[in-house]
């Protein structure tokens, strides 16, 4: 970790008003939510949500706290009491949910500026096999994306026996 953590990273974290622990926690969410090609875009969404005081609503944190790798959660599962539940709690979870790699740490520090300026607030999985994500600026667009792709998530969970 300290071989990756440079003085530039520490200074950048300070520019973002984040501690290194917060950067690592955010990077862990990014690591679990996306393929590396989308890391900076997911980071931008999370930064935008943090700035807006919105819950992060990361499914990766729900998977972590429930110990289940699935794509569709019940309302009871999403209401689970935990400092890791980013559906119930605003801000970052209590700590990292995995050991993030360099690319996720860099994404946490350097989110996609076009997505930051564009005020993207949402993303969801398009289809499980590719890991490609659909990004949205509004809740209406996000809900349309969910309606479009949800059947694929249910099918993937069924294949895994969830």
Non-local (6+) Cβ contacts of 3 within 8 A are none
**106-150 pLDDT, tens digit each:** 999 999 999 999 999 999 999 899 999 999 999 999 999 999 999
**How confident is the model at residue 162, as a pLDDT?**
61
Residue 78 has pLDDT above 80, yes or no: yes
CB atoms within 10 A of CB 124: 18
Non-local (6+) Cβ contacts of 147 within 8 A are none
**8-48 pLDDT, tens digit each:** 999 999 999 999 999 999 999 999 999 999 999 999 999 99
Cα–Cα distance measured from residue 151 to residue 84, given in angstroms and rounded to the nearest whole number: 27
pTM for the whole structure: 0.94
Q: What's the mean pLDDT in 56-60? A: 97
**How confident is the model at residue 155, as a pLDDT?**
95
Name the band, by pLDDT with cuts 50, 70 and 90, for residue 4. Answer: confident
Among 106, 104, 103, 134, residue whose Cα is nearest residue 120: 134
Q: What's the mean pLDDT in 140-162? A: 93
- Identify the residue whose tokens are 């999985």: 125
Within 13 Å of residue 22, how many CA atoms lie on the same side as its CB? 15
**How confident is the model at residue 90, as a pLDDT?**
97
């Amino acid at each position: 970790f300290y071989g990756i953590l440079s003085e530039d990273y520490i200074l950048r974290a300070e520019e973002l008003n984040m501690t290194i622990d917060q950067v690592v926690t955010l990077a862990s969410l990014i690591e679990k939510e996306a393929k590396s090609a989308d890391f900076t875009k997911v980071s931008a969404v999370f930064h935008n949500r943090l700035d807006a005081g919105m819950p992060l609503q990361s499914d990766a944190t729900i998977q972590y706290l429930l110990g289940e790798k699935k794509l569709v959660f019940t309302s009871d599962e999403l209401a689970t009491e935990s400092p890791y539940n980013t559906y119930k709690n605003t801000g970052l979870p209590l700590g990292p949910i995995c050991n993030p790699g360099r690319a996720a740490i860099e994404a946490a520090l350097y989110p996609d500026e076009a997505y930051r300026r564009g005020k993207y607030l949402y993303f969801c999985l398009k289809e499980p096999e590719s890991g490609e994500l659909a990004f949205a600026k509004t809740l209406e667009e996000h809900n349309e994306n969910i309606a479009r792709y949800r059947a694929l998530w249910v099918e993937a969970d069924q294949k895994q026996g969830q």
